[in-house]
Structure 1
């Protein structure tokens, strides 16, 4: 912050490239209030693009929640299946790595062709970003389960399904929670790409649109909000992880 104040205060960089903290704060306040617009007609506008910034953030959170939530629902069972049924894992794992290696901008156009420019294509993009890390974390967790634990419950009369539910799932939960945290981070880094087209309301769409309009203070404000929201969300996931797996890290 001190370096930022110094550079902008001495005008070492043009405000177009690096706005001052004060102008970023003004843009943030403007994006969360009603204000007049100087277009020759006296009128009051609401926030930015007719939405307050918290509404942009909420819209992106809803999309991320839908995409990551779907990835959790689909990825965990598929990860369990791939790690417990060998031939399924052998066949499916190359496709999983192929999907993981694709950059979101590489197939956003195809998703728009398939699902339109509405929320459906955005949620699909976020799902595809979150699905691989959750599935791979589940596979890693199951493969790390000690075989003697599974054999012990099987010898005591448990079915294969009971062994999966009562032994494998609890044992893999720490890895799954890590995968969910990583997936949520990927989803946040993908939100701008997801909201390139018809992304308003959306904090990623606001950051992109304000950048194309050379509203640098608003772009920086949106970037800061995205970063703070990501930190808060990760902290919430860490709290949930402590509740679900309190034994993690303990002997």
Structure 2
């Protein structure tokens, strides 16, 4: 009960403070709309209201679903490549020396720094969005996998070789299981980075899409819709992170116990 009461209590306190700030008159409703107006905006973008279907002809759940599909493709590609590169860099020293500086360089770049270049190269359709999300998700997974593979217990690897295991067997049966907890941490970070890059990915031709909805509403100072979009992104991000935690506990049940 305490685990449930604390989050709901903090949410209730946040709503009370929000309502108090909105009622204080220190800022206009354009800047700080009251919770009731945000709720009205949520209802409006989720239903057909006065003959208008959702926001820009698309319901909120559809905007979110389209963005989640982009993240699934983009982050999925980046995560898969990050794990593969991390495994290779963690086991082959010269490959790590060759690629690690470039991955670190890429990891420090904000998405907006190269999104315009992707638009020039790939156009304004889905390709630059998927590529941006893949590029954003790749470095965290690659770095986490490389570090975890390089830190795999050496005595276990030597024992596996002494028992006749090949290099492939050692990687599959010793290195990879040892690295899985850190790999999952990298995956969670990668999904978070991809989600934080979502609005940037949907800056151009982002409608329909939750990030595009937020950007379009911000252009017209429609703060309630902006807050609805932010809440949708945050809540769906919490759900995805919870699913990843559940998957980690299922795949790596020994983590933290051995």
Equivalent in 91, 94, 97 of residue 90 of structure 1: 97
Is 1:23 paired with 2:37? yes
What is the RMSD of the two structures over their aligned residues, measured on CA atoms?
Answer: 0.8
Aligned positions of 1:117-156 closer than 5 A: 117-156=124-163
* Residue 74 of structure 1: how far off its partner (Å): 1.0
Equivalent in 197, 204, 208 of residue 201 of structure 1: 208
Separation (CA, whole Å) in 2 of partners of 1:91 and 1:8: 54
Separation (CA, whole Å) in 2 of partners of 1:136 and 1:229: 25
TM-score (norm 2): 0.93
Separation (CA, whole Å) in 2 of partners of 1:71 and 1:220: 29
Aligned positions of 1:21-100 closer than 5 A: 21-36=35-50, 44-100=51-107
Equivalent in 222, 225, 247 of residue 240 of structure 1: 247
Secondary structure in structure 1 of the residue aligned to 2:49: strand
Aligned positions of 1:95-106 closer than 5 A: 95-106=102-113
* Residue 144 of structure 1: how far off its partner (Å): 1.5
Separation (CA, whole Å) in 2 of partners of 1:141 and 1:179: 10
Q: Which residue of 2 aligns with 1:185?
A: 192
Q: Identify which range, 7-16 or 142-151, moves more after superposition.
A: 7-16
Is 1:174 paired with 2:181? yes
Q: Number of paired residues? A: 244
Q: Which residue of 1 aligns with 2:23?
A: 9
Contact between 2:79 and 2:190, CA under 8 Å: does it hold in 1? no
Is 1:163 paired with 2:177? no
CA offset digits 1:147-180 (Å, max 9, x no partner): 1111111111111011111111111110000000
Separation (CA, whole Å) in 2 of partners of 1:103 and 1:71: 16
Post-superposition, which runs of at least 4 consecutive aligned residues in structure 1 deviate over 4 A? none
Separation (CA, whole Å) in 1 of partners of 2:233 and 2:79: 22
TM-score (norm 1): 0.95
Q: Which residue of 2 aligns with 1:41?
A: none
Separation (CA, whole Å) in 2 of partners of 1:101 and 1:10: 41
Separation (CA, whole Å) in 2 of partners of 1:207 and 1:131: 25
Structure 2 residue runs of 5 or longer lacking an equivalent are 1-14
CA offset digits 1:45-93 (Å, max 9, x no partner): 2100110000010011001111111112211111111111111111111
Secondary structure in structure 2 of the residue aligned to 1:19: coil
